[in-house]
Structure 1
Amino acid sequence: MSVSAKSTKLDLFNLKSKPIQTFWITSIAFFMCFFSWFGIVPFMPYVVKDLGLTPDQKWNSIILAVTGTVFARLLIGKLCDKYGPRLCYTWLLMLGAIPVILIGLVQTPLQFLVCRFLIGFIGASFVITQFHTSIMFAPNIVGTANATSAGWGNLGGGANRLGMPLIAAGVISFGVAETEAWRYSMITAGCICFLMGLVYFFFTQDTPEGNFKELKASGDMPELKKDEAGFMVAVKDYRVWILFLVYAASFGMELTVYGTMDDYLQNTFQLERVTAGNLVLSFALMNIFARTLGGFFGDKFGKLKGLRGRVLFLAVILTIEGLMLATFSGAENFIVAFIFLICFSLSVQMAEGATFSVVPFINKKAIGSISGIVGAGGNVGAFLAAILLKSKSAIAEKEAIITSKGAAADVIKSAQAAASSDAVASGYFMIGVLVVITALIALTIKFSQEDELAVVPGKVETA
């Protein structure tokens, strides 16, 4: 594949360019996937009441929502290497729309949990997005392109807090009961995902030169003829597993922290639920620029110091992320805590962007497989962190209930809130320390002299 057809700049208004067309369509598709993946979150109070979910079932639904994505991301990377991003995204959007629609029809807690698990598969869209932009943009800009498309897609995970209630308000205006509006909203989101799959099929192509099927048939894609070996090559590369840990420590922690932050802010600083929810939304909306900054600086350090420069920047921003979270966990004043939370949000999203400014340079013959493994790391991190926080919180709350037994209901509730706050704070501190350790591990990523020369303009082509 010739590198000449790849875009060397992110000119967002050059809509005649195939890479830019692909950038926009894949960003919008990714946005819709994340919008649908976490679309149920704003409606959880209604779901709990409607289906009679227990606290354990509510926690389990959060864990299941990120569990299915692990398997999907591992699989989809391999499929991208073999069949190309166009077909993979088309099928993911159309099949992924099914559980999104079905969750609007559930009648029991078990059906709800199954649907949340299956909806998690749509989170594999991240891998396809990164794969597609990686093969559409040249080395000098690929980090920025990857980070921007991913950041704007991640925005869907926060935009649903505004978008879903608006959809609900729309269906209520047609006479639907408020308690049933969440069902129609999820069905609507699922239908949009299905239609987006058709858009992806008809308006994108796999590479700047054409689709995988035609290019393989003509022999114009020799570097992808050995895609059967690509996944095993990725599995055996230690750098892939370090990046797996790095993404667990960045995206995984963003998912977990934002998923638990509403309750933490209410329990610790006595904020109203709406206020806490709006603050968390504002942090999620930072994806529109923060993740791009990570990719941008990854590219800049790459220009200055080569591939090693990308790794150094990744380690630095990851260290800052860990320190910000650990410091936030001990803050007792809301203003101080808010400042460190902003710094954490900025640094964690930049770390995500910086991670995928390194990924395309590990092995150009297995970009999809590597993206899949690294992407899965984010969800493994989210799963393990959620288990940690759930276990610490559950134990602390039970002890608080036992200690305050016989007291008034509001006293017991306050004791539970305080116990949960302390438990989650200690969990955040532990996570922050682990993130810093991961940053040190990231420094062990090495590149050969041949790898370094391959990204010099005018030298060997690269992903």
Structure 2
Amino acid sequence: MNLQDQPLNKLRIFSFKGVQMRTFHITWITFFFCFFGWFGVAPLMPLVREELGLTKNEIGNIIIASVSATIIARLFVGKMCDTLGPRISYTILLVAGSIPVLLIGLSNSYESFLLFRFFIGIIGASFVITQFHTSMMFAPNIIGTANAVTGGWGNLGGGVTNLVMPLIAAAFVGMGFVSQSDSWRIAMVVPGAILLIMAYIYYKYTQDTPQGNFNKLSAGQATNKKKNGSFLLALKDYRVWILTLAYAACFGIEITVDNVAATFFMDRFDTGIILAGALASIFGGMNLFARALGGIVSDKVGRSYGIKGKGLILGILLLLEGIGISLFATSNTLLLAIITMLLFALFLKMANGCTYGIVPFINKDNIGSVSGIVGAGGNIGAMLVGFLFKSETLSYADAFQYIGIGVFVIGFTVLFVRFHPRTETVVQNVSLEV
């Protein structure tokens, strides 16, 4: 086999040479823009709240709806990757997801907005395809790092969205196209159009594996030897459920913060909508390096201590994340809130990367299924904590305090779980090149 047709054992960040690195960059860029569609309306919620007259309970329902559809979508898309391949799966998802993003501006009531917000959530399944496709392109020694970089740089879109979408809405107002109250409607057309563009790019310029697309490979190659495993086998593996719980405590909290941060800063510290969006973007901006750092640490620990060491690091990161969230919840000044947000964001995003530094080694015959199950766990976590933010008796600060305690408990649990090494692959010679 030609070396160019094999998974890479080095990650050359600034290289676009070869199908592996081209796919790597297109994948994270696509995932980045998926966040614009998924959370584009989140920093604009103060405008939506005012125009549609939404109550705190209704906003809480909208937060829950925004992550609920993703749970089912991630399970379904994970299986699609194992059968149709990531290229076709991503193209279908991008086209389908663009429709509710483009149409949410037509909402004229709480009910219609809730429905559109629910269907937009299917875009969140893009993460599973991103991780699956990266796993196809890189060798075991670098999978954790490669997955963390694509996931982290993609998640960066959640932070940039908080910064950019209020500016896009303000630009349309400044050009006289629309009033401020309606600016969120036309602003959402932008991410919807970008999703359609990325669907074309993904279909045209990527392929499923270094050897080619699934439909042109032999049955054994295309299915990634999945005849030795099954979706049900993945469900029966306790390690899958431990990682699902862990991902609920890190990524689940991340997308919750993406949803509520701007509103939190406006309500608690009386900031304007643009400043609130800018402050919320700091949280997402940590993905520039923090998730990748988690993957790198996971790979390096794996060299010496295997999957057990990876699990130990994950538990420690979750413990530190929980402590950081609790400190954030008790912050009574804007400066302290920013500092503590950065603190827990670092550990949270490292835990994200560490989780998916373990996923590819759980069941190599069904990477898509395992990725989908664990990824769905993140959204289950976000859905459950969403109920805290809809409560009329709890402030957002109270909700964050309960979240911090919950994450700490989960971290403590993960810390004492020992991953069974029966299917573990020896990982050596991690290499990250720039």
Normalised by the size of structure 2, how large is the TM-score?
A: 0.91
Shift of 1:306: 1.7
* Counterpart secondary structure, 1:208: coil
Please tell me the residue identity of whatever aligns with 1:310.
Answer: K
Count of aligned pairs: 426
Q: Does 1:58 align with 2:56?
A: no
| Cα distance in 2 for residues equivalent to 1:262 and 1:187 | 21
Q: 1:265 to 1:50 in 2, by over 3 A?
A: closer
Q: Which residue of 1 aligns with 2:251?
A: 251
Gaps of 5+ in 2: 430-434
Contact (CA 8 Å) 1:94, 1:195: kept in 2 or not? no
Contact (CA 8 Å) 1:35, 1:158: kept in 2 or not? no
Which range moves more in the overlay, 276-285 or 6-15?
276-285
Q: Which residue of 2 aligns with 1:205?
A: 207
Contact (CA 8 Å) 2:163, 2:280: kept in 1 or not? no
Q: Which residue of 2 aligns with 1:412?
A: none
Which range moves more in the overlay, 71-80 or 442-451?
442-451
Q: Which residue of 2 aligns with 1:8?
A: 9
Q: Which residue of 1 aligns with 2:31?
A: 30
| Cα distance in 2 for residues equivalent to 1:373 and 1:149 | 19
Gaps of 5+ in 1: 397-419, 458-463
* Counterpart secondary structure, 1:13: coil
Contact (CA 8 Å) 2:247, 2:377: kept in 1 or not? yes
Shift of 1:259: 3.2
Contact (CA 8 Å) 1:66, 1:383: kept in 2 or not? yes
Shift of 1:54: 3.5
Shift of 1:316: 1.3
| Cα distance in 1 for residues equivalent to 2:404 and 2:151 | 23
Shift of 1:349: 0.7
Contact (CA 8 Å) 1:242, 1:445: kept in 2 or not? no
CA displacement, residues 122-165 of structure 1 (integer Å, 9 cap, x when unaligned): 11000100110011111121111111111111111121223223
* Counterpart secondary structure, 1:322: helix
| Cα distance in 1 for residues equivalent to 2:269 and 2:171 | 34
* Counterpart secondary structure, 2:424: helix
Q: Which residue of 2 aligns with 1:399?
A: none
Q: Which residue of 1 aligns with 2:187?
A: 185
Contact (CA 8 Å) 1:81, 1:224: kept in 2 or not? no
| Cα distance in 2 for residues equivalent to 1:164 and 1:262 | 12
> 1:321-332 maps to which residues of 2 (within 5 A)?
321-332=321-332
CA displacement, residues 215-266 of structure 1 (integer Å, 9 cap, x when unaligned): 134x434643528x52111111111111110000001112223433444445
| Cα distance in 2 for residues equivalent to 1:340 and 1:170 | 32
RMSD after superposition: 2.4
> 1:162-241 maps to which residues of 2 (within 5 A)?
162-172=163-173, 175-179=176-180, 180-217=182-219, 219-221=220-222, 223-226=224-227, 230-241=230-241
Q: Which residue of 1 aligns with 2:375?
A: 375
| Cα distance in 2 for residues equivalent to 1:222 and 1:64 | 33
| Cα distance in 1 for residues equivalent to 2:367 and 2:164 | 33
Q: Which residue of 2 aligns with 1:395?
A: 393
Q: Which residue of 2 aligns with 1:102?
A: 103
Report which of the two structures shows the higher radius of gyration computed on alpha carbons: 1
Contact (CA 8 Å) 2:43, 2:277: kept in 1 or not? no
* Counterpart secondary structure, 2:230: helix
* Counterpart secondary structure, 1:357: helix
Q: Does 1:447 align with 2:416?
A: no
Normalised by the size of structure 1, how large is the TM-score?
A: 0.86
CA displacement, residues 16-52 of structure 1 (integer Å, 9 cap, x when unaligned): 2211111111111111111111111232233233334
Please tell me the residue identity of whatever aligns with 2:424.
Answer: D
Shift of 1:333: 5.2
Q: Which residue of 2 aligns with 1:79?
A: 80
Query: Could you tell me the percent identity over the aligned residues?
Result: 47
Q: Which residue of 2 aligns with 1:385?
A: 385
Which range moves more in the overlay, 2-11 or 297-306?
2-11
| Cα distance in 1 for residues equivalent to 2:59 and 2:397 | 21
CA displacement, residues 94-119 of structure 1 (integer Å, 9 cap, x when unaligned): 11111111112223322211110000
